Amino acid sequence: MTRLLKTILPIILCALFGLSFATPTQAVASLPIVLPALTCDALSATDFSAAVGAKVTINHTEMQTSAQGSWCKVSATIAPEIGVQIALPTQRWSQRFCRSAVADCAGVLT
């Protein structure tokens, strides 16, 4: 009996584990559209240093438009030398955020 249990139990556990991935996922919540609090031009005059905890220099802001909508492209530098580019939607932001970074993969070529 013990031998049979040792053989069948792992198979049952693996089957149950596999079935756990077959359960339906929850639907994505429908969130209302949020309009920007500042214009693209106003961002260049805003000091974000206190919120970030380091000196933030806004290098450039520019409105861009495509078939998918318009956004404010912001290029900034966070002290000492961290370059940041952000595309902020101006018409149809649904309160979702996706961050992408290269972390330690970015280096300096000398």
pLDDT band for 46, please (50, 70, 90 cuts).
very high
* Model confidence, pTM: 0.61
Bridge partners of 72, per DSSP, are 63, 88
Residues 74-96 pLDDT 10s: 999 999 988 889 999 998 888 88
State the pLDDT confidence band at 56, using cuts at 50, 70 and 90: very high
The three-class DSSP label of residue 90 is coil
3-state secondary structure of 65: strand
Q: Own/partner pairs for 93-96, CB < 8 Å, 24+ apart?
A: 93/33, 93/34, 93/35, 93/36, 94/31, 94/32, 94/33, 94/34, 95/31, 95/32, 95/34, 96/31
d(CA 86, CA 81): 16
- Report the SS3 class of residue 7: helix
Which SS3 state, helix, strand or coil, does residue 22 take? coil
Dist. CA 21–CA 58, nearest whole Å: 45
Q: Tell me: pLDDT of 14 over 60.
A: no
Q: Report domain extents, the chain.
A: 31-95
Give the model's confidence band at 57: pLDDT under 50 very low, under 70 low, under 90 confident, else very high.
very high
DSSP 29: P
